[in-house]
A = this chain, B = another copy of it.
Amino acid sequence: MDKSFSCPSGSAAPGPVPKDYIRVYSMRFCPFAQRARLVLKAKGIKYETINIHLKEKPEWYLKKNPLGQVPTLETPAGEVIYESPITCEYLDEVYPEKKLLPSSPFAKAQQKMMLEHFSKVIPYFYKIPTGRKNGEDVSGLEADLKEKFAKLNACLVNKKTKFFGGDSITMIDYMMWPWFERAEAYQFKQFLDGTPELKKWTELMLQDSAVKAIMFSPDAHKAFFKTFLDGNPDFDYGL
- A-side interface residues toward B, CB under 8 Å? 75, 79, 81-83, 86-87, 89-90, 93-94, 105-106, 108-109, 112-113, 116
Contact = CB atoms under 8 A, between A and B. Distances in A.
Given A86-B113, A113-B86, A116-B86, A79 B106 contact: yes
A238 to B, nearest CB: 32
A93 B105 contact: yes
Contact of A109 (B90, B108, B112, B116): B90
Contacts of A113: 81-83, 86
Given A86-B113, A89-B109, 7 more contacts: A75-B106, A79-B106, A81-B109, A81-B113, A82-B113, A83-B116, A86-B109
Contact of A112 (B79, B86, B106): B86
Nearest to A92: B105
Contacts of A112: 83, 86, 89
Most central of A81, A86, A106, A109 by chain B CB within 10 Å: A109
9 contacts: A79-B106, A81-B109, A81-B113, A83-B116, A86-B116, A87-B109, A90-B105, A90-B106, A93-B108
A90 B106 CA distance: 7
Number of copies: 2
A86 B112 CA distance: 7
Nearest to A87: B109
A86 B85 CA distance: 12
A233 B178 CA distance: 41
Nearest to A90: B109
Contact of A106 (B81, B83, B109): B81
Contacts of A106: 75, 79, 81, 90, 94
Contacts of A79: 106
A193 to B, nearest CB: 25
A202 to B, nearest CB: 24
A74 to B, nearest CB: 11
Most central of A81, A93, A113, A116 by chain B CB within 10 Å: A113
A90 to B, nearest CB: 5
Contacts of A94: 105-106
A6 B79 CA distance: 45
Contacts of A81: 106, 109, 113
Nearest to A103: B93
